[in-house]
């Protein structure tokens, strides 16, 4: 099963490629439409600013091929961190529209009152509250923890898309699923055995 990890210049994707391999999948990084065309599964990772991410996808000519794969062919895709946010319609971090594949927007953490001392970004290990059964969390360890680094989070307009929430001042969406589209705000590739289980489940879909 070949998993294509999209390399669009937003951070080091090496640990994701390696984790997919450790999970028993065949992983290749790719940055051209031709390579992405052949994907059986896709991972859209990403660390960095929203507009840079969209601009890079556009400049590399990847938006159309990704849309065709994900929306028309329903190729499973996993968005990670910025990748998840790019699936939404917009972000307060930038002015460009997102890919708009899910009915959601990306907003900045804003804390006041009793939460005013909470720092942004939310950085560190945190728990998730799984909202509904999903193949992504099949056979997950008890009380799993995941590693987060983000200043923005996704707000879903369709509650049915929410897969898990995490408490940081508020309950925000830490993972979502719409059909065969999955996304995590946390970094599975930085969350050792818990992250490996998520990647194994994605590879095994």
Partner 1 sequence: MKTVRFKNPTYVGDPINAVRIFNDKEVDELVLLDIEASRRGAGPDFPLLSKISREAFMPMGYGGGVRSLEDARRLFSIGFEKVIINACALERPEFIQQASSACGSQSIVASIDVKKNFWGQGRVYDHVRGRPTSLSPRDFAVRLERLGAGEIALNSVDRDGTMSGYDLDLVRAVCQAVRIPVIAMGGAGRLEDFRDAVRFGGASAVAAGSFFVFHGRHRAVLITYPDKSELKKTLASGGGDQEPGQAGRA
Cα separation of the two ends of the chain = 10
Q: Report the run of H or E that residue 21 belongs to, with start and end.
A: helix 14-22
Hey, which residues does 78 pair with through a beta bridge?
Answer: 43, 182
Asked if 157 is an active-site residue, the reply is no
Q: How far apart are CA 13 and CA 15, in angstroms?
A: 6
Report the residue from 28, 47, 60, 63 that binds partner 1 according to the rule CB under 8 A. Answer: 47
Does residue number 196 form part of the binding site for partner 1 (CB under 8 A)? yes
Report the residue from 3, 4, 19, 102 that binds partner 1 according to the rule CB under 8 A. Answer: 19
Q: What does the per-residue mask of binding to partner 1 show for 135-174, with x meaning CB under 8 A?
A: ------------x-x-------------------------
DSSP state for residue 176 in the 8-state scheme:
E
Helices and strands, counts by H and E, the chain = 6, 12
Q: How far apart are CA 34 and CA 55, in angstroms?
A: 19
Does residue number 193 form part of the binding site for partner 1 (CB under 8 A)? yes
* Least distance between partner 1 and beta carbon 23 (Å): 11
Does residue number 189 form part of the binding site for partner 1 (CB under 8 A)? yes
DSSP state for residue 103 in the 8-state scheme:
S
Task: List residues binding partner 1 (CB under 8 A).
Answer: 11-12, 14-15, 17-19, 22, 47, 119, 121, 123-125, 147, 149, 189-193, 195-196
Residues acting as catalytic residues: 81, 187, 189
């Amino acid at each position: 099963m070949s998993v294509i990890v999209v390399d669009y210049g937003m951070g080091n994707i090496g640990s994701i490629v390696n984790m997919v391999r450790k999970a028993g999948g065949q992983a290749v990084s790719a940055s051209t439409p031709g390579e992405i065309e052949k994907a059986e599964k896709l991972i859209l990772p990403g660390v960095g600013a929203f507009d840079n991410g969209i601009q890079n996808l556009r400049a590399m000519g990847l938006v159309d091929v990704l849309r065709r794969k994900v929306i028309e062919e329903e190729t499973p895709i996993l968005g990670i961190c910025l990748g998840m946010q790019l699936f939404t319609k917009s972000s307060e971090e930038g002015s460009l529209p997102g890919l708009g594949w899910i009915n959601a927007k990306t907003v900045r953490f804003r804390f006041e009152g009793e939460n005013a001392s909470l720092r942004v970004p939310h950085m560190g290990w945190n728990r998730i509250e799984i909202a509904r059964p999903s193949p992504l969390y099949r056979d997950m360890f008890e009380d799993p923890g995941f590693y987060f680094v983000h200043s923005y989070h996704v707000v879903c307009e369709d509650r049915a898309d929410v897969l898990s929430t995490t408490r940081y001042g508020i309950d925000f969406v830490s993972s979502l699923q719409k059909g065969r589209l999955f996304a995590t705000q946390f970094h599975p590739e930085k969350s050792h055995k818990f992250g490996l289980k998520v990647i194994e489940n994605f590879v095994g879909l």
